[in-house]
């Protein structure tokens, strides 16, 4: 004699119930692939490319010196009339330490000024960071609350901008410069701007 449970049909989960789970899993997988494979954060487009720099007025990092002189802060006027490389950095940023030798090398070149925006940092930490690794900057502005970085469209530190003599943002590199990106990507972009500093 067969039991009643043996005779009852097995319940199947309807496909429509599983459909949202399948779609979610597929989308999550696609998102993960985009994040991990072939994703280059330096290629994220910036809405500010080709546009004037935002109004900028940052005080200097207190007691930050270079060659016995107090290093000045940054105003928008300081970024007009010459090509500028503007680097957003912080002492607590590990990738900033990794890219720093390339900024030091860059500071030895001529034809532009090096400008630093010190992002959400304590003055003593910024001084210690530049004191131990070297100071490649002609000016450093203290962006303690991060508002100026937001105006510049910064995704996160480090980021490096090339600004032409008219104050137009011509290029933006997201993330730390590496040996490869410095030589094959950033320097050619800088040379292009130096060859046409007024964007003509």
Q: What is the pLDDT of residue 42?
A: 44
**C-alpha to C-alpha distance for 60 and 72, rounded to whole angstroms:** 5
CATH of 46-195, one of 3.40.47.10, 3.40.50.720, 3.40.30.10, 3.30.565.10: 3.40.30.10
**Domain ranges across the chain:** 12-36, 46-195
In 3D, which of 116, 107, 89, 113 has the Cα closest to residue 164?
113
Q: What is the pLDDT of residue 29?
A: 54
Which residues of the chain carry a pLDDT beneath 70?
A: 1-19, 21-46
**C-alpha to C-alpha distance for 96 and 93, rounded to whole angstroms:** 5
Q: What is the pLDDT of residue 167?
A: 97
Do 79 and 73 touch, CB atoms closer than 8 A?
A: no
Q: What is the pLDDT of residue 47?
A: 72
Q: What is the pLDDT of residue 200?
A: 72
Q: What is the pLDDT of residue 6?
A: 52
Bond into 8 cis (ω within 30): no
Q: What is the pLDDT of residue 38?
A: 41
Q: What is the pLDDT of residue 18?
A: 67
Which residues lie across from 57 on neighbouring strands? 75
């Amino acid at each position: 004699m067969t039991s009643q449970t043996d005779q009852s049909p097995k319940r199947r989960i309807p496909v429509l119930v599983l459909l949202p789970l399948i779609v979610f899993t597929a989308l999550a997988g696609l998102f993960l692939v985009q994040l991990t494979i072939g994703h280059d954060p330096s290629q994220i487009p910036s809405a500010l490319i080709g546009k004037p720099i935002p109004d900028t007025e940052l005080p200097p990092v207190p007691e930050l010196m270079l060659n016995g002189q107090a290093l000045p802060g940054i105003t928008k006027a300081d970024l007009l009339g010459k090509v500028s490389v503007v680097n957003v950095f912080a002492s607590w940023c590990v990738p900033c330490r990794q890219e720093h030798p390339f900024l030091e090398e860059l500071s030895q070149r001529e034809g532009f000024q090096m400008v630093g925006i010190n992002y959400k940092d304590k003055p003593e930490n910024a001084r210690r960071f530049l004191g131990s690794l070297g100071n490649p900057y002609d000016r450093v502005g203290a962006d303690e609350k991060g508002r100026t970085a937001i105006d510049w469209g910064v995704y996160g530190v480090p980021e490096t901008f090339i600004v032409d003599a008219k104050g137009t943002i011509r290029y933006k590199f997201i993330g730390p410069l590496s040996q490869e990106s410095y030589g094959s990507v950033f320097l050619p972009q800088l040379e292009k701007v130096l060859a046409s500093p007024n964007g003509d």
